[in-house]
Structure 1
Amino acid sequence: MKWSWYKFPTPIALLKLLGFRNKLREENLHNTAQLPTQDDIELPLPLPDDRHLVVRTADGSFNDLEDPKMGMAGTRFGRNFPLKNVYPNEENLLNPNPRVISRKLLTREEFVPATTLNLLAAAWIQFQTHDWFSHGDNQQDNKFQIPLEEGDPWPEEYRPLEIKKTLTDTTRSDDNTQGPPTYINKVTHWWDASQIYGSDRETIDKLRSHVDGKMLIGDDGLLPINSENGIDLVGFDDNWWIGLSMLHTIFVKEHNTICDHLKQKYPAWTDEDLFDHARLINAALLAKIHTVEWTPGILGLPALQIAMDANWWGLLGQHTKRIFGRVGDSELLSGIIGSPTDHHTAPYYLTEEFVSVYRMHPLMPDEFEFYSVKNGNLLQKNNLFEVAGNRTRNLLENLEMSDLFYSFGISYPGAITLYNYPSFLQKLVRDNGEVFDLAAVDILRDRERGVPRYNDFRELIGRGRVKSFEEITDNEKWVKELREVYQNNIDSVDLMVGMFAENPPTGFGFSDTAFRVFILMASRRLKSDRFFTEDYRAEIYTKFGLDWIDNNSMLTVLRRHYPSLSRALFGVENAFAPWRKVGV
């Protein structure tokens, strides 16, 4: 019997993880930018006074100084698999029917909680993915029509069930037959907090006060309202709900606090100097929180805690790095942060497969309870519809932000499994009147974009194929229903369904299959970015900035901006784990 890597003692498990990453770096980075491109695409222009050499640009250009457009907004998603393996199977785009899969394999029968996490963890990952990727608003007049079975409860007034097709890549040359379809990332590919700041100069300018480097925020502690849609004015506002509003607000406050400290230390700095440095520091703090707090929270295995700390500080540890600095260029000993930049086998772009493994909608509950952090009393209950879209603002104006954070801290998200998809999202009514089944959309998007189905994906990512449904899960009920929906064809199982069905490693909040992409791309987001590697230094960030990043965490951010949370955070070591209940 072959042992899984996570069943080995921690030192051996770490060696196996290192081996996985090295192999993935060699075999699973594939460049779509090499496919034919129109000749009239404009190249990014340098900033005045060569400012692009030392700051993050609005659109993500000039992160790589030799290839200025690499990773900028408006460039293609890359792939984790050879391009010959990512052509969509046009004949089977609707087979099996995505709506049938949604109803029969994903529908939440009862809420299954993830009891090692709190609801802030669910909000956090959406907050981060909004920084990393967006395919845009989809095609308005080109849609898939999804057949409905007899007896399907989809409302008559919303029939036919239609799903808009993904926007096409308009940068491809007229000879579009060379290579598979490609798609454009509308936001920067970099870990640069573009969800807060935006991915273009016009958006950034709207969000700034243009005084002392600060972002706009009201005296009431809330972000300005976007008059066009009635929700918070932010860098990226798709799929808005209360969890996003909370995180956007606290990190705008964090940006402004950083500006206050920078102005004290550098009184001669301009508004632009203060803003650019505060953004660098804030973005790096977000990346650190995700790396050493959120990730070990959702992947609760000792080897993972060590591995993620090593990504940031190295195996020699935080204490050694603080005292002695880096020990050579080794990312193993001293971490990726501050090491030489390396794109490995392909230019840096986030990938379609990376997007796919972050389909984690079961994390969302359908019902919310809000409590007072002062005495623990129940304040009100709401469903997901009532805390989403332009209804979010009413909640913000009627509840204290500290009570919102406290309520998230003591509430569980959903487990990422079959039969735990939020019912609200299976009949998602958007503010613009559009209605669709998001679970069916999730299935169809992978097929449309050529993401291999589960068994092919496993093979291409290095896990090997399964030969039976029983190898995916030991849940007999699930095996029976998977076999029925997929007509006993193991190779037709969709990626998301297979990942949700898998028996995950002990302590993991998601599947080992998804984790293989994570091993590669979590490191790559840092290793390819010069602001986390060769330009992670005091000359760029300031000594104060590096110290701020080192000395802060999600816990310190929460306590700084909402001191009344301190009682609930007493004894809590990870902000994404369940908090202490007050008044109990």
Structure 2
Amino acid sequence: MARFWNRWTGRSKTSQSTHKKRDKTRKSPRRRLKSETLETRQLLAANLFHNELIPEDTNEDGVVSAIDALTIINEINRQTRGGDVATGDGGQVEDRGRGRMTDVNNDGRDTALDALMVINRLHRERNGGFNPVQKPETPNEDPTGDLGTEVRSVDGTGNNLETPELGSADTALIRIAENDYADGISEPAGEDRPSAREISNTVSAAAPDGTTNERDLSSFVFIWGQFLDHDIDLSLQPANEADEIAFDIEVPTGDPLFDPAGTGEETIHLTRSDIAEGTGTSIDTPAEQVNAITAWVDGSQVYGSTQTVADSLREFEGGRMLMSDDGLLPTDDNGNVLAGDIRASENIALTSMHALFIREHNRLADEISAANPDLTDEEIYQQAREIVIAELQSITYNEFLPALLGEDALAEYEGYDSSVDPSIANEFSTAAFRFGHTTLNDTIGFYGNDGLDVEDAISLADAFFNSSLLEETGIDSILKSGASTLSQETDLEVVDSLRNFLFGQPGSGGFDLVSLNIQRGRDHGLADFNSVREAIGLEAYDSFDQITSDVELQGKLETLYGDVNNIDLWVGLLAEDHAEGSSLGETSTLIIADQFERLRDGDRFYYENTMTSSEIREIENTTLADIIERNTTNTSLQSNVFFFTPTIAGTVTTDTPVVEQVANQQRGRQDRGNDRRSRGSNDIRQSTVGVEGVTLELLDSEGDVVDTVITNSDGNYEFDSFDRSGEYQVRVASSNEITSVNSDSIDLLVSSGDSHLKNVDFSVMV
């Protein structure tokens, strides 16, 4: 597989650090990828020292064995101490010479890492690692069945060799805390709590202008968050309508949107989630909901979680997947999009992400096929699939999670651990990872490479199940918009499109997503907020003011719940003050970090466990921005699309007379007796100095003032509060102290999150 590695991206990037010590700061982004010819990449990929197909075969006997690791150890000993060569099982180890065959990772040194790579390969081969597979006889034949080699299964089974069902589709969710069912078996929790809609109306109504993210997270925090969520969890309603159980949400009498007539009889419909067979029968076997898809970060939203779905998305030629002529998702005879996940058409940003990764798969497949024409369709498909999954994993762990939770929220990866249960926790999927609903903006824009609108924005409500719109707009402008706008703050506030007009007008299909989240938690029997805190090792809160420093919110929570030990989990998680360096509270941060650590550590096929060091570097030097740019016409994305941090900076100066005292003294000695007034005039010059305390205004394209700053003692200023790309103006605010300005205003273009406009200077007279 390594022979194809450097052809996968078609680009090159220099790594500034090892994969264990990545520079993830926003201020020091990694160097952008540059296009190169395929021939150049082939030369760079060539291994001049040993067998490039099996670099771990240091003695070139055709197999990888413990003797290869011993060969490396001998070479290290020879270089450090000299002397005799150790032997393996009684035989001599061939003397290959300094640093020739034993430099497995081709870094120019013989180290313990080279020996470890041999050991890891032995472990992978004994436990099933990636090898090319043959094309199945028929499209529905399982390509991993009897081929003697192993690829990641579509349904998630077989990842854990001791417990093959772990992480697979259609297995039960697990719990962090004990259930809180009213009867301890299956009856919904929260019977003594207010209506979910009443809670929504009280704490989740959003301000008209919203509250943008305080840590400069872009809209990709929810775009990727939803795309990722649809890779790892899905709770369904019962397959048979006869088995459905309603759990409707009471609407408060006179609710202005859902009960405007004041009947007191309106409800918001909810059907209870399906539960695992054999559960919900007694206190010893309480109801446990089912995860209908694979838990792994394995691209199941792209490829599917069943073989039937996976096959239905393939061309079965050249390893490619089905795609429309204009690069969008394929559709069935009724115009419904076909994708690995049934939720792909929920909104146009999500659908765009699905289309993006189908393009990426096909781009990779075409490159692999062109470089290796003898490979079968199945071999090409599986190799491209493995790379895409690795990219999804790397973006999640190296970009998305550090952006959301902070750099050090997750423990360092220490390798595969078969004792780890990767299963999705109910508290994670039904509460903590639903934070994204609070971060969505009320509109979706369409931006060009210059950061300006190419289409009129549409309301989020109009973006639901409207994938046909992409036939007019394409995906490029939507993805550019996602990178070029700030998300909403992660808090309890949710925009109207989700809280009042989800999927339609109230009474005509409309829902309240906040109410649904709260009610779904009760349906699943989630424990209250404090109980979950204690279950993950945190201390319970004694009062509402310990949860949040927002005095108004403290009062609302106390009015709604009365008891700090009775708060719905979703509400408590989002009410909690943010942890240091995180955009979420302490409890959410720990729940999400725990889940993704388990998904990583318990995944035998996780990319850092199966790929070589050079392959890992290649994957980790491929950002989401890179994938977007090489599959669309976008060319002006910031290096890290999860942050939007443009700046405009400059200096305000004035000319002021300055007396040159030294020159004046010297001239005084030479011109004694001359007219004093004349001598003084010769010693004064004009000097430019910064002006402190000048107010500057930032105006948007509509001419509205969106921010103000004041110059410091050196006359310097900086604007760093932008909620989107576009055209801006900077001007000096009118003041009695300022009599004139060299320019009324300066027009500027902020095209991306990496726009840092400097030397936007003004000269004034004071």
TM-score over 0.5 (shorter chain):
yes
8 A Cα contact 1:53 1:62, kept in partner: no
The structure-2 alpha-carbon separation of the partners of 1:537 and 1:468, relative to structure 1 and needing over 3 Å to count, comes to same
- Does residue 471 (structure 1) correspond to residue 546 (structure 2)? The answer is yes
The structure-2 alpha-carbon separation of the partners of 1:48 and 1:526, relative to structure 1 and needing over 3 Å to count, comes to closer
8 A Cα contact 2:252 2:259, kept in partner: no
8 A Cα contact 2:179 2:526, kept in partner: no
Equivalent of 1:558 in 628, 632, 635: 628
- Does residue 417 (structure 1) correspond to residue 491 (structure 2)? The answer is yes
Of 369-378 and 80-89, deviating more is: 80-89
CA distance in 2, matches of 1:350, 1:101: 27
Specify the alignment match of 2:292 in structure 1: 186
Specify the alignment match of 1:151 in structure 2: 254
3-state DSSP of counterpart to 1:61 = coil
Query: 1:341 offset after TM fit, Å?
Result: 2.8
Specify the alignment match of 2:217 in structure 1: 117
The structure-2 alpha-carbon separation of the partners of 1:269 and 1:471, relative to structure 1 and needing over 3 Å to count, comes to same
Where in structure 2 are there 5+ consecutive unaligned residues?
A: 1-140, 647-724, 728-748, 750-766
CA distance in 2, matches of 1:170, 1:123: 30
Query: 1:548 offset after TM fit, Å?
Result: 4.4
Query: 1:524 offset after TM fit, Å?
Result: 0.9
Query: 1:368 offset after TM fit, Å?
Result: 2.8
Amino acid at match of 1:171: E
8 A Cα contact 2:157 2:167, kept in partner: yes
CA distance in 2, matches of 1:536, 1:352: 29
8 A Cα contact 1:108 1:423, kept in partner: no
- Does residue 370 (structure 1) correspond to residue 446 (structure 2)? The answer is yes
Amino acid at match of 1:65: L
8 A Cα contact 1:294 1:576, kept in partner: yes
8 A Cα contact 1:417 1:501, kept in partner: yes
CA distance in 2, matches of 1:303, 1:180: 36
TM-score if structure 2 supplies the norm length?
0.60
Alignment deviations for residues 339-380 of structure 1 (CA, whole Å, 9 cap, x no partner): 233334xx4311101212101201111123323324724520
Of 256-265 and 435-444, deviating more is: 256-265
Of 236-245 and 277-286, deviating more is: 236-245
Specify the alignment match of 2:320 in structure 1: 214
CA distance in 1, matches of 2:178, 2:621: 42
The structure-2 alpha-carbon separation of the partners of 1:170 and 1:289, relative to structure 1 and needing over 3 Å to count, comes to closer
Alignment deviations for residues 415-450 of structure 1 (CA, whole Å, 9 cap, x no partner): 111233444343422699744322111011112212
Specify the alignment match of 1:386 in structure 2: 462
8 A Cα contact 2:502 2:513, kept in partner: yes
Query: 1:127 offset after TM fit, Å?
Result: 0.3
Q: After superposition, where does 1:223-372 map in structure 2 within 5 Å?
A: 223-228=329-334, 230-238=335-343, 240-300=346-406, 302-304=407-409, 310-311=412-413, 331=414, 339-344=415-420, 347-355=421-429, 356-360=431-435, 361-372=437-448
Query: 1:66 offset after TM fit, Å?
Result: 2.7
Query: 1:557 offset after TM fit, Å?
Result: 0.9
Q: Indicate the structure (1 or 2) with the bigger Cα radius of gyration.
A: 2
Specify the alignment match of 1:577 in structure 2: 643
Q: After superposition, where does 1:483-562 map in structure 2 within 5 Å?
A: 483-486=558-561, 488-532=562-606, 536-537=610-611, 546=616, 548-562=618-632
More strand by share: 2
Query: 1:232 offset after TM fit, Å?
Result: 2.9
8 A Cα contact 1:341 1:533, kept in partner: no
CA distance in 2, matches of 1:430, 1:227: 25
CA distance in 2, matches of 1:514, 1:372: 35
8 A Cα contact 1:88 1:451, kept in partner: no
3-state DSSP of counterpart to 2:446 = strand
The structure-2 alpha-carbon separation of the partners of 1:375 and 1:132, relative to structure 1 and needing over 3 Å to count, comes to closer
CA-based RMSD? 3.0
Of 181-190 and 268-277, deviating more is: 268-277
CA distance in 1, matches of 2:408, 2:600: 20
Specify the alignment match of 2:235 in structure 1: 135
The structure-2 alpha-carbon separation of the partners of 1:512 and 1:422, relative to structure 1 and needing over 3 Å to count, comes to farther
Q: After superposition, where does 1:15-26 map in structure 2 within 5 Å?
A: none
CA distance in 2, matches of 1:442, 1:52: 45
Query: 1:233 offset after TM fit, Å?
Result: 1.7
TM-score if structure 1 supplies the norm length?
0.78
The structure-2 alpha-carbon separation of the partners of 1:534 and 1:377, relative to structure 1 and needing over 3 Å to count, comes to closer
More helix by share: 1
Specify the alignment match of 2:201 in structure 1: 103
3-state DSSP of counterpart to 2:398 = helix
Specify the alignment match of 2:146 in structure 1: 50
The structure-2 alpha-carbon separation of the partners of 1:54 and 1:534, relative to structure 1 and needing over 3 Å to count, comes to farther
CA distance in 2, matches of 1:125, 1:236: 15
The structure-2 alpha-carbon separation of the partners of 1:537 and 1:551, relative to structure 1 and needing over 3 Å to count, comes to same
CA distance in 1, matches of 2:615, 2:477: 30
The structure-2 alpha-carbon separation of the partners of 1:412 and 1:180, relative to structure 1 and needing over 3 Å to count, comes to same
The structure-2 alpha-carbon separation of the partners of 1:224 and 1:545, relative to structure 1 and needing over 3 Å to count, comes to farther
Query: 1:559 offset after TM fit, Å?
Result: 1.9
Of 255-264 and 95-104, deviating more is: 255-264
3-state DSSP of counterpart to 2:269 = strand
3-state DSSP of counterpart to 1:370 = strand
> How many pairs does the alignment contain?
496
3-state DSSP of counterpart to 2:353 = helix
8 A Cα contact 2:185 2:283, kept in partner: no
CA distance in 2, matches of 1:227, 1:579: 44
8 A Cα contact 2:247 2:272, kept in partner: no
The structure-2 alpha-carbon separation of the partners of 1:66 and 1:430, relative to structure 1 and needing over 3 Å to count, comes to farther
Specify the alignment match of 2:536 in structure 1: 461
The structure-2 alpha-carbon separation of the partners of 1:190 and 1:207, relative to structure 1 and needing over 3 Å to count, comes to same
8 A Cα contact 1:362 1:417, kept in partner: yes
CA distance in 1, matches of 2:582, 2:324: 40
CA distance in 2, matches of 1:167, 1:281: 34
CA distance in 1, matches of 2:497, 2:626: 35
Equivalent of 2:475 in 386, 401, 415: 401
The structure-2 alpha-carbon separation of the partners of 1:148 and 1:210, relative to structure 1 and needing over 3 Å to count, comes to same
Amino acid at match of 2:199: I
Specify the alignment match of 1:482 in structure 2: 557
Of 174-183 and 186-195, deviating more is: 174-183
CA distance in 1, matches of 2:326, 2:235: 34
- Does residue 443 (structure 1) correspond to residue 539 (structure 2)? The answer is no
CA distance in 1, matches of 2:353, 2:310: 18
CA distance in 1, matches of 2:567, 2:301: 33
- Does residue 69 (structure 1) correspond to residue 138 (structure 2)? The answer is no
Query: 1:458 offset after TM fit, Å?
Result: 1.2
Query: 1:280 offset after TM fit, Å?
Result: 1.5
8 A Cα contact 2:232 2:295, kept in partner: yes
3-state DSSP of counterpart to 2:467 = helix
3-state DSSP of counterpart to 1:549 = helix
The structure-2 alpha-carbon separation of the partners of 1:491 and 1:483, relative to structure 1 and needing over 3 Å to count, comes to same
